[in-house]
Amino acid sequence: MRKQSGNRLASRTAHKVILLLLVFALSWTCVSPAAAQKEKKKKTDPPPSADSSKMLIPLSDEQQIDYTLSEMLGAWQLGDIEKLHKDSADDVAIVNGSWAPPILGWTNYLAVYQQQRARMQQVRMDRTNTYIKVSGTVGWACYQWDFAAVVDGQPTESQGQATVVLEKRNNHWVIVLNHTSLAP
């Protein structure tokens, strides 16, 4: 009986010592980066470049297109016109799901987008089942989308598909054609 009690005491002591060592090691790892960061703040480094063509890890063309699509949809949801334009060519053509002529050019698209966006709140657009193909400086993507928002004060949902054609200009993929269709 005493042997078990002694083993239990030794076991508890060992657990406490291990726990104390882990806490000490964890606090040491937290202090060290904080000190290094404080030291780094004293040095003045140039601001990082926002140019995606200078990324540390180069992306394949397919990955760049996937990133461009994600960035474009994010900008579309948030109403970030600058980012939306960054990913769309000045000579972009937009074909929407309604019976209307294509919208030609960024300026014309921007006017239509701003009219639509002014009527929407709580916008969500999810992209799934994306297929991307690249041939030289041209790439295209097909994907399904799921849209939800409050439009004119009413909750609205819809699904559809999009085909997007991109062109690599100045080492940056830009959308030159966006054809969006509502699901029947």
Per-residue confidence band for 7, with pLDDT thresholds at 50, 70 and 90: low
- Output the DSSP codes for 82-117: HHHHHTEEEEEEEE-SSSSPPEESHHHHHHHHHHHH
Question: CA-CA distance, 56 to 164, in Å (whole number)?
Answer: 27
Q: Is 175 domain-assigned?
A: yes
Q: 34 with 114, same domain?
A: no
Number of domains in the chain: 2
Q: What is the DSSP letter of 52?
A: G
Tens digit of pLDDT for each residue in 87-110?
Answer: 999 999 999 878 889 999 999 999
Domain that holds residue 14: 1-49
Q: Can you give the pLDDT at residue 98?
A: 81
Tens digit of pLDDT for each residue in 134-164?
Answer: 999 999 999 999 999 999 999 999 999 999 9
Number of alpha carbons in the 13 Å side-chain half-sphere of residue 57: 1
Q: 11 with 64, same domain?
A: no
Q: 115 with 160, same domain?
A: yes
Q: 44 with 77, same domain?
A: no
Q: 79 with 132, same domain?
A: yes
Which residues in the chain belong to E strands, given as ranges? 88-95, 103-104, 120-135, 138-151, 154-169, 172-182
Going by C-alpha positions, the residue among 112, 77, 117, 78 that lies closest to residue 92 is 112
Using DSSP's 3-state secondary structure scheme, residue 46 falls into coil
How would you class 141 by CB atoms within 10 Å of its CB: exposed for 0-12, middle for 13-18, buried for 19 or more? Answer: buried
Q: Can you give the pLDDT at residue 27?
A: 39
Number of alpha carbons in the 13 Å side-chain half-sphere of residue 121: 5
Q: 82 with 157, same domain?
A: yes
Question: CA-CA distance, 1 to 123, in Å (whole number)?
Answer: 68
Q: 83 with 19, same domain?
A: no
Q: 109 with 143, same domain?
A: yes
Q: 39 with 116, same domain?
A: no
Q: Is 101 domain-assigned?
A: yes
Query: Residue 160 maps to which CATH number?
Result: 3.10.450.50
